[in-house]
Chain A
Amino acid sequence: MDLKSLKKQESKRKISKGYMWALFCAVFWGIWYLPGTVVWVLNPFDEMYSAIAETGGDGSALIVTAVLITAFNALTVMLALMLWNGVLGKYGELVRTMKEFNPCSKWFFLASIFGGPMAILGSFIAMGFIGGAFAAVAALLYPVVGSVLAYYWYGEKISKRAAIGIGVIILGGITIFGGGLMTELSSGNVQWIGYLGGLMAAAGWGIEGAIAGKGLDISEPDVGLTLRFLGENIIWWIIVVPVLAILGYPMYSFALQAFEPMTLLVLIFAGITFGFCYVCWYKSFPLIGVGRGQGIGNLYGLFAIIFIFLFFGDVPQWSILVGGTLCVIGSFAMITEDTSALETLRGE
């Protein structure tokens, strides 16, 4: 075969593989909202919620319960990723990368602060207070935060097209948040903390992406993601959970009760879907570019709504549907850029 047709064949193979990874990411990410929503009504988390709510009020009960759920989520994601790295034979690389704290792994630990206590905790709060569909669609705003940060911080280009996409996504975001708020304002009962959770998810994931990118540039993503979740586990299990326990919240007694089959199953399901959505996400980037990888990945919002409808029978509010559609259109506007410009994403 000659050079030209071989080049064509290679790029075709790369693109179809890249789209496959990105689509897997979207499916896994969308599915994650199922265990994320279900876990709230399972023991020990529902008991924990009502036990704390009796003495401390609904707000603190929700946040403390969300902390424990997020901590377990981090733990099961870590398990899934350790298994994955084992299969790939990357433990050696894991240790080598971890040792490079200053040039590399510090970025993962920094990213985990925004990814964990901000984005994932915010998502669980939004799921618990408002619902899975809202949580999923609200987080669709993260590329706006991410690309603005990347622009100011390391000069990543924002093309005209991407700017239009960002504008459409913001419109979608206003619809998602505004529609829900209006309904609740008229009924006089606004779940502010749930909306705050949605914003935390969007901002947290945007910031996480921009920071983690600094380390992921020069490391293997499978390894980098594992270190990022190692950081999150340290934050929850070594810092936050013990501090809350000292403050008098019954963290450990309820944490130990999580080891019953149904709860464990749901938590492991959350860990696998969440862990692999991250892995697939990063695998797609070198093949089709970060913009397209994220754009296709963002279809997770759509998948989440579909899965939630199929499994729970919940039809989301019109504002979530319209806003979510705008966000997906916006991310596609961001991704259908000229291919040649995507080969290199950064200004040289």
Chain B
Amino acid sequence: MSGKRPMKFRILELFLDGNEHWNYEIVSKIQEEYDMRSNFHRDSINFDILELASGGMLKDVEQKVDEDGIYKKGFLLHRYVITDFGKSRGSDACLRYV
């Protein structure tokens, strides 16, 4: 993917498929795509997801405990789905050039 978009654009784009995604799936995908592998960046990408959720673009639909340490052992994992508002903001921002 040449000419990367801002991270939140990309996160919304990943959710625009309408499916539910776990935060760790999205975070690790973004970490890989943007080549940002440190724990600091991991948390900062996760904060982006939190911001999108608090802005009403994603909805937290399910939580589970990270027993195996796939993301952060002993912490909560969240599963999100895009909202209608998120779809309209996301397609405004992301799909224009696709």
Contact = CB atoms under 8 A, between A and B. Distances in A.
Interface of A: 1-3, 6-7, 10, 88-89, 92-93, 96-97, 100, 102-104, 217-221, 223, 285-287, 289-290, 343-346, 348
Contact of A7 (B6, B36, B63, B83): B63
A165 to B, nearest CB: 20
Given A3-B63, A88-B44, A100-B6, A10 B57 contact: no
Interface residues of B, number: 37
B64 interface: yes
B31 to A, nearest CB: 13
Interface in B56-83: 56-57, 59-60, 63-65, 74-76, 83
A89 B42 CA distance: 13
B87 to A, nearest CB: 10
> Main SS of chain B's interface residues?
helix
Nearest to B41: A89
A223 B9 CA distance: 14
Contact of B54 (A88, A218, A343): A343
A220 B48 contact: yes
Interface string B1-41: 00011111100100000000000000000000010100011
B92 A103 contact: yes
Contact of A3 (B6, B64, B92): B64
B92 to A, nearest CB: 6
Contacts of A219: 6, 8
B65 A217 contact: no
B75 A286 contact: no
B5 to A, nearest CB: 6
A88 B4 CA distance: 19
Given A102-B96, A286-B53, A289-B54, A96 B6 contact: yes
Contacts of A286: 47, 50-51, 53-55
Interface of B: 4-9, 12, 34, 36, 40-41, 44, 47-48, 50-51, 53-57, 59-60, 63-65, 74-76, 83-85, 89-90, 92-93, 96
Contacts of A97: 6
Contacts of A7: 63, 76
Contacts of B57: 217-218
Contacts of B12: 218
Contacts of A289: 54
B6 A104 contact: yes
Contacts of B8: 218-220
A185 B36 CA distance: 62
A218 B40 CA distance: 21
Given A93-B6, A286-B53, A286-B54, A1 B93 contact: no
A103 B93 contact: yes
A100 B53 CA distance: 22
A326 B9 CA distance: 40
6 contacts: A3-B63, A100-B93, A104-B6, A220-B7, A220-B48, A346-B56
Nearest to B50: A286
A1 B74 CA distance: 8
A346 B85 contact: yes
Contacts of A287: 50, 54
Contact of B5 (A2, A89, A100, A285): A100
Contacts of B7: 93, 96, 220
